[in-house]
Amino acid sequence: MLDVHGGVPLKGTVRVRGAKNLVPKAMVAALLGDTPSVLRGVPAIRDVEIVTGLLELHGVRVTPGPDRGDADGELVLDPAAVEQGSIVDIDAHAGSSRIPILLCGPLLHRLGQAFIPDLGGCRIGDRPIDFHLDVLRKFGAVVDKTPGGIRLTAPQRLRGTKVGLPYPSVGATEQVLLTAVRAEGVTELRNAAIEPEIMDLVMVLQKMGASITVDPARVLRIEGVDRLDGYFHRSLPDRNEAASWASAALATGGDIMVEGARQQDMVTFLNIFRKIGGRFDVLEDGIRFRHPGGDLTSTVLETDVHPGFMTDWQQPLVVALTRASGVSIIHETVYENRFGFTDALRRMGATIQLYRECLGGTPCRFGRQNYLHSAVVAGPTPLRAADFTVPDLRGGFSHIVAALAAEGTSQVSGIDVINRGYEHFLDKLHGLGARFDAKAAA
Ligand code: EPZ
């Protein structure tokens, strides 16, 4: 429970480390190697703890690298003693994250079987895994759904296959990559996701000895190999965390230097950030984001797959848009239910209306269904403190930012979910001058 005192501009420096949406996947990839892997830039977040526990249950030795005093975060992953973890232990991790589904391919290659507990992750849509199961069956896996999760077996070595994704799913693309690299023969994946985190995983696998090509039409071709070695890799920085702090600077009228932020991963975000009136400076060791004073300008945006505007960027930005003069329109085309966090903003005085229509040029999968996946924000409106519970990772970050931008003191509960993806979150807020009192949950 936090009492957050608003009205304070966030000013100072934060450091982002390895991307939450790459590091756990690279850790899973280490399972495919016959020798140990070394991963650098690992952030201290819950998702890393969860995957560490899951890998250890399967006999992988995960040890921190030597402390070099640079707070860099290094893990050594040794898969030499991989064996099937006990079903009960694995089940204990059920509901905590979406990463376990990516263990399927590596475990089927090494053990011929896998048991995956029911998944967790942010409630921002029903987040099915049909694409994952379809491609695993095409590789030759036998998939049985059980009450507590999914049991998979590979009667013989998995075989390369030709698949096309109905939608460029990040997770399903990772599923294919982590399975195809050790399958017999060639795999072709059409309509693949090509987010920077995907390309980083491709580089990890290439270092291990995999043969992967990416063509301009987003078709991946993977030639299966008989063995892979461990890798040495530094994760790309977390562009979603960087974009979150950038929006926090706008929303609170502040000035935040995000060390480690990389322009090449954020070009689309930076365009919108400048368009609504934010100022940014790309420096040697990061990007400085600030509110230059005066009014912000409303805008129209649609989220999309890379290189479009990332769905993970819209929630914190919406808080800044409540301060912009005029009407902003956001069409969320990736997830069907990612505006739940706006309820709390409305209670704080924001003028936000949700619509079922596709309010944008790109007709998406959710049009003419019962999904409130477009938002209209009218501003500027001052925000008043309110009490609320954090709904999910990015929505939760937005709630805290809104409380910091609001007048008065807000009571925020359930902030632990933020630790899943933002490392040292409260320390960073404190370092930026935020005023809050941590209270024991009532
Ligand atoms: C990854 O989720 C990220 N999470 C998400 O970040 C990110 O928002 C998302 O990719 C899109 O970029 C991690 O990497 C851990 P998807 P993922 O499969 O892989 C539908 C955050 O805040 N779909 O690309 O689960 C799905 O319902 C999180 O850091 C199916 O229909 O996303 C969604 O509508 C949130 N069937 C769309 O595809 C499937 O089998 C995109 O999902 C799989 C996906």
pLDDT tens profile 169-192: 999 999 999 999 999 999 999 999
Amino acid at 412: V
| Centroid of chain to Cα 33 | 25
The residue to mutate among 23, 51, 98, 127, having the most atoms of ligand 1 within 8 angstroms of its beta carbon, is 127
Cα separation of 182 and 113, whole Å?
15
Cα separation of 406 and 434, whole Å?
12
The answer to whether the CB of 1 falls within 8 A of the CB of 246 is no
Q: Which residue, among 408, 379, 389, has the nearest Cα to 317 in the 3D structure? A: 379
Assess whether the C-beta atom of 131 lies below 6 angstroms from ligand 1: yes
Residue minimizing CA distance to atom 11 of ligand 1:
170
Cα separation of 296 and 278, whole Å?
7
pLDDT tens profile 86-121: 666 677 776 778 888 999 999 999 999 998 887 777
- Tell me the C-alpha to C-alpha distance, in Å, between residue 249 and each of 3, 11, 20, 253, 322: 20, 8, 21, 6, 14
Assess whether the C-beta atom of 169 lies below 6 angstroms from ligand 1: yes
23-234 homologous superfamily: Enolpyruvate transferase domain (3.65.10.10)
For the chain, the structural domain boundaries read 2-16+237-438, 23-234
Show which residues are catalytic.
Answer: 122
Q: What is the pLDDT of residue 438?
A: 86
**How many angstroms is it from 170 CA to the middle of ligand 1?**
6
Pick the CATH number of 2-16+237-438 from 3.10.20.30, 3.40.50.12780, 3.40.190.10, 3.65.10.10: 3.65.10.10
Cα separation of 122 and 223, whole Å?
34
Assess whether the C-beta atom of 172 lies below 6 angstroms from ligand 1: yes
| Stretch 200-204: mean pLDDT | 98
Cα-based angle 420, 425, 427 (whole degrees, multiple of 5): 145
pLDDT band of residue 164 (cuts 50, 70, 90) is very high
Q: Kindly give, in sequence order, each residue whose CB lies less than 8 Å from that of residue 426, ignoring residues fewer than 6 positions away.
A: 2, 415, 436, 438
Q: Which two tokens stand for residue 221?
A: 């071709």
pLDDT tens profile 55-88: 999 999 999 988 777 778 999 999 998 876 666 6
What number of other Cβ atoms are within 10 A of residue 155's Cβ?
A: 9
What number of other Cβ atoms are within 10 A of residue 138's Cβ?
A: 17
Same fold, 2-16+237-438 and 23-234: yes
Amino acid at 228: L
Residue minimizing CA distance to atom 18 of ligand 1:
169
pLDDT tens profile 349-400: 999 999 999 999 987 999 878 999 999 999 999 999 999 999 889 999 999 9
